[in-house]
Amino acid sequence: MNEYTILEERKDQIHRTGEGALDMACNRESLAGAVSQRACVFCGSRVVLYPIADALHLVHGPIGCAVYTWDIRGALSSGPELHRLSFSTDLQETDVIFGGEKKLEAALDELIDRHSPKAAFVYSTCIVGIIGDDLEAVCRKMSEKKGIPVLPVMSEGFKGSKREGYLAACKAMFKLVGNEDVSDVSPLSVNILGDFNLAGEIWIIREYFKKMWVEVVANITGDGRVKDIGRSHGAALNLVQCSGATLDLAKMMKEKYGKPYMRVSYLGIEDMADSLYQVADFFKDVDPDIVKRTENLVRDELSKLMPELARMRKDLEGKKVAMYVGGSFKAFSLLKAFRHLGMKVVMVGSQTGTKEDYAELERISDPGTILVDDANPLELSAFIKEKDVDIFVGGVKERPIAFKMGVGFCDHNHERKEALEGFEGMLNFAREIHASAMSPVWNFVPRRSKKAGE
Amino acid sequence: MTTKSKNFTSTTNACKLCTPLGASLAFRGVEGSIPFLHGSQGCATYMRRYVISHFREPVDIASSALGEKHAVYGGGPNLKKGILNVMKKYEPKIVGVATTCLTETIGDDVPMYLNEFNKEFGDLDLPDIVQVSTPSYNGTHMDGWHGAVRSMVEQLCTEKAEDDGHVNILPNMVSCEDVRHLFDICEDFGLKATILPDISETLDGPALEDYVKIPVGGTPVEDIKKMSGAAATIELGRCVPAKSGGTSLAERFGVANHRIGLPMGLRESDIFFETLEAVSGKKMPARYERERGRLIDAYVDGHKYIFGKRAVVYGEEDLVTGLCAFLAEIGVDVVLAGSGAKKKGMAEAISAVTEGVGRTTPEIHEGVDFHDIAERAGELKPDLLIGHSKGYRYAKVWGIPLIRLGFPVHDRFGGQRIPTLGYRGTQHLFDRIVNAMLEKKQADNPVGYGYM
């Protein structure tokens, strides 16, 4: 490995399991010039809030911020599709000089009249933070004028990384919670937090809960509705998926409404089943039969899934995987999922992992696994080469890195177009991994063809 | 011909991208170069993500990754630190620094910072550093592109080089395939060409054994430095800013600047080839005569399928102009020509390139977004849509074909290899349009003709 591949200042953000005690530096600002894979605060808040389908999402800033986040995530809606449009105030030089508040106000006026949304989120961008537009005042004024919640999202890009954006999003959303009547909510009820309904995944999960007779009050935020969020405080339990994008909201609801929350994952076999069992366990005092219903559900699903997985496992046994994900919670589930396929995970990284996350990763991964925080293309490519991996799991920015080196790839971020959650999702996942790993094209890439000739 | 400007305050589904993105793409087309955005981390990451979906290539764009304290106290230290880190990791020959709305607004004096940097670290083997001012609240990605090209020419080509008879081509934001075609054409004319930028390999490279830090290819920095010694510059695009790379070379070094349209369609391609004849002193090689002849033959063979069809075209101002030139020749009526850009002279350019053959005068919409286009297109009832992928949802609703070209093409494969230039590119585009109409006719017809 080129000695410069890893910059001195980044060495403590990389760890090899089994080689000394883990003392991972993380949650720090990205290093200038390191070509981080990370985005910004605005991105974090946009990811979380954007799937609320009957709200208006107005980006207050220059055009780029809105364009690059225009419908890029495939968060599906069963009804309105307002979230799939890209609204911007498209700030111009004169707005920067004289302030953008008037333009924002006019834009809100016009867009709320045109689309009659149930609420409006107004995202602050870098430049708004600098020119000092009073977003809160404009939103307050427009709320009164239009009679819907108009919520400022304080997401200036430079004020941290994606994680701070999650918090900004949760703060904005929390203003919606508690606005609706909850008298008809079932005692067996949950909110689904931190799922974005990519490729319709939330519909798979809701189906499971239906079979368990558990009411889902609000999807937060995939296929989300303003009204549902308004009554989400009526649910008995909050289920938080993902690496905490909506964990802050669950915490706020716990503090104000005393609602307990539970961290779950719908990815992979064990974690999916465990999550359902945990929910059943939570409600078993209210309805003892729920445990039986859940067991039946899991058994039925597994009896369909396992034979198919076994077939694919024959081909995949022993192949090596590297993954680089946004939040590391997902990595836990994927690591276990790959074990079901007989595959060996040799590198795990994340953009926003915490110390606890990396400790957990170290605990569950094989010795010699590379753990990395806030990586970049040169590091990732060096690890791919060193570990001679067969499959890389990541997002759009990682895909060409893998492909260029002749390595299979599975898109497992917000852009995926295949449902990967639940038991059916596990099957889709396995099929995708199998299809990529077993493609004959790898015979022709320089990395492999050279090996054959050696 | 009318020029409409929109009446809305807000923008819905923009038909443009931001200035630093254009600059980053242009910088990517220089050999040994790393584009570097001076701003917060998100800009670079978002743009990389966006560009990757079109080119399907690694696109490493560095950032000074400014945080809150830098926004208050200035981004100079991070800019310098960032360049040093990029030097360590990538060993670039050139770093292309583009500002963002953040650093423009906090008032970072980038030229001063870079001067300081060159003094402070003068003992190191420093790369060339080019900077361009690209506030994203001013203009579109095309301004960023042209700005970066001009900055490179002005900051790297500072002395009169010996006249070596080569030709400079400033190709505009065309596809990788188009750049390759331009090289081939020049070679066939016996001309050595400096094409700036040259994204033909850097954004469409081969499979590799290792990840290379910076993809091979791109315009060599030494060649940029020698652009002052060219026999001529050919600058493609009738909407290029008044001050450009080409005009700068003309003013400072007397290099004749031929500003012509993108060679799309027969007549604009003729102008391009005539210009090459003039510059090289050679007659157009026979193969292009044959391509030209085949194109006219195809125009005739296909004319009935498309005559009088109504098209909406949108995208970069010069691409739209080129499309209008071509569509006028084949009897497709452009009913609306839209661009997110403003005041680039698109109306005049379209008027000029369609003169004499255009059957209708299209509505020109500048500074337009897709909401405006949709509102008007509802009344104009087009038969086809031509532009980048962002028009897809409208084409779907209206039940008409979308011919994808330009940037971004991220819902189809091979966007970087779409040919549009010269007789051959026009031929390709013509075939696609005719086939789209045939397919539509087939799909809509209960009989299901299998022999058209």
How would you classify the pairing of strands A237-240 and B167-170? unpaired
Say what the pLDDT of residue A447 is. 85
> CA-CA distance, B263 to B270, in Å (whole number)?
8
Which residues on B lie below 8 Å from A130 (Cβ)? Answer: 71, 102, 105-106
Say how far residue B236 (Cα) sits from the centre of its chain: 10
Contact call for A96 and B58, based on CB within 8 A = no
**How many angstroms separate the Cα of A144 from the Cα of each of A105, A135, A285, B276?**
12, 14, 45, 65
For chain A, what's the residue count? 454
Contact call for A32 and B60, based on CB within 8 A = no
Summary count for chain B: helices (H), strands (E): 17, 15
Contact call for A103 and B9, based on CB within 8 A = yes
- Residue B198's pLDDT band (cuts 50, 70, 90): very high
Task: Determine how many CB atoms are found less than 10 A away from the CB of residue B127.
Answer: 19
pLDDT (mean) for A241-262: 93
| Contact predicate A97/B135, CB 8 Å | no
Mean pLDDT over all residues of chain B?
96
B125 CB within 8 Å of a chain A CB: no
Which residues on B lie below 8 Å from A443 (Cβ)? Answer: none
pTM of the model: 0.95
Rg, C-alpha atoms of chain A = 23
A385 CB within 8 Å of a chain B CB: yes
Say what the pLDDT of residue A24 is. 87
**Chain A interface test: which of B19, B33, B36, B46 (most A C-beta within 10 Å):** B46
Min distance B107 CA to chain A CA atoms (Å):
11
Chain B, nearest residue to A60 by Cα: B10
**Chain A interface test: which of B5, B8, B9, B87 (most A C-beta within 10 Å):** B9
Which residues on B lie below 8 Å from A86 (Cβ)? Answer: 12-14
Contact call for B68 and A126, based on CB within 8 A = no
Say what the pLDDT of residue A200 is. 96
Q: Name residues 379-398 of chain B within 8 A of A (Cβ).
A: 390, 393
pLDDT (mean) for A291-318: 97
Say what the pLDDT of residue B4 is. 56
Task: Determine how many CB atoms are found less than 10 A away from the CB of residue A65.
Answer: 32
Q: Name residues 80-99 of chain B within 8 A of A (Cβ).
A: 81-86, 88-91
pLDDT digits (tens, 9 = 90+) for B34-80: 999 999 999 999 999 999 999 999 999 999 999 999 988 999 999 99
Min distance A179 CA to chain B CA atoms (Å):
29
A35 CB within 8 Å of a chain B CB: yes
Say what the pLDDT of residue A255 is. 98
pLDDT digits (tens, 9 = 90+) for A319-338: 999 999 987 888 999 999 99
pLDDT (mean) for B15-36: 98
Q: Name residues 232-291 of chain B within 8 A of A (Cβ).
A: none
Say what the pLDDT of residue B256 is. 98
Say what the pLDDT of residue B30 is. 98
> CA-CA distance, A333 to A330, in Å (whole number)?
5
- What is the amino acid identity at position A149? P
> CA-CA distance, B364 to B372, in Å (whole number)?
12
Say what the pLDDT of residue A329 is. 83
> CA-CA distance, A278 to A262, in Å (whole number)?
8
Taking 90 as the threshold, does the pLDDT of residue A160 lie above it? no
Say what the pLDDT of residue B306 is. 97
- Residue A424's pLDDT band (cuts 50, 70, 90): very high
- Kindly state the percentage of chain A with pLDDT values over 70: 98
- DSSP letter for each residue of B212-277: -SS-S-SB-HHHHHTGGG-SEEEEE-TT--SS-HHHHHHHHH---EEEE----HHHHHHHHHHHHH
Say what the pLDDT of residue B3 is. 57
Q: Which residues contact A70 (CB under 8 A, 6 or more apart)?
A: A85, A86, B13, B14, B390
B101 CB within 8 Å of a chain A CB: yes
pLDDT digits (tens, 9 = 90+) for B106-156: 999 999 999 999 999 999 999 999 999 999 999 999 999 999 999 999 999
Say what the pLDDT of residue A454 is. 53
Taking 50 as the threshold, does the pLDDT of residue A161 lie above it? yes
Q: Which of A227-236, A290-299, B353-362 has the lowest mean pLDDT?
A: B353-362
pLDDT digits (tens, 9 = 90+) for B207-264: 998 899 999 999 999 999 999 999 999 999 999 999 999 999 999 999 999 999 999 9
pLDDT digits (tens, 9 = 90+) for B271-323: 999 999 999 999 999 999 999 999 999 999 999 999 999 999 999 999 999 99
Q: Which residues contact A285 (CB under 8 A, 6 or more apart)?
A: none
Say what the pLDDT of residue B175 is. 98
Mean pLDDT over all residues of chain A?
93
Say what the pLDDT of residue A274 is. 97
Chain B, nearest residue to A125 by Cα: B102
Rg, C-alpha atoms of chain B = 22
pLDDT digits (tens, 9 = 90+) for B51-61: 999 999 999 99
Say what the pLDDT of residue B9 is. 94
Chain B, nearest residue to A160 by Cα: B67
Contact call for A446 and B208, based on CB within 8 A = yes
B11 CB within 8 Å of a chain A CB: yes
Contact call for A5 and B47, based on CB within 8 A = no
Q: Which of A59-63, A158-162, A384-388, B47-51 has the lowest mean pLDDT?
A: A158-162
- Residue A308's pLDDT band (cuts 50, 70, 90): very high
Taking 80 as the threshold, does the pLDDT of residue A3 lie above it? no
Say what the pLDDT of residue A1 is. 44
Taking 80 as the threshold, does the pLDDT of residue A450 lie above it? no
Classified as helix, coil or strand, B300 is helix
Say what the pLDDT of residue A69 is. 92
Taking 70 as the threshold, does the pLDDT of residue A453 lie above it? no
Say what the pLDDT of residue A244 is. 77
Residue B34 gets which letter from DSSP? E
Contact call for B65 and A110, based on CB within 8 A = no
Instruction: Taking each helix axis as running N to C, give the angle between helix A162-174 and helix A247-257, from 0 to 180 degrees, rounded to the nearest 10.
Output: 40
Classified as helix, coil or strand, B337 is strand
Say what the pLDDT of residue A21 is. 84
Taking 70 as the threshold, does the pLDDT of residue A422 lie above it? yes
pLDDT (mean) for A421-442: 96
Say what the pLDDT of residue B440 is. 95
Contact call for A126 and B70, based on CB within 8 A = no
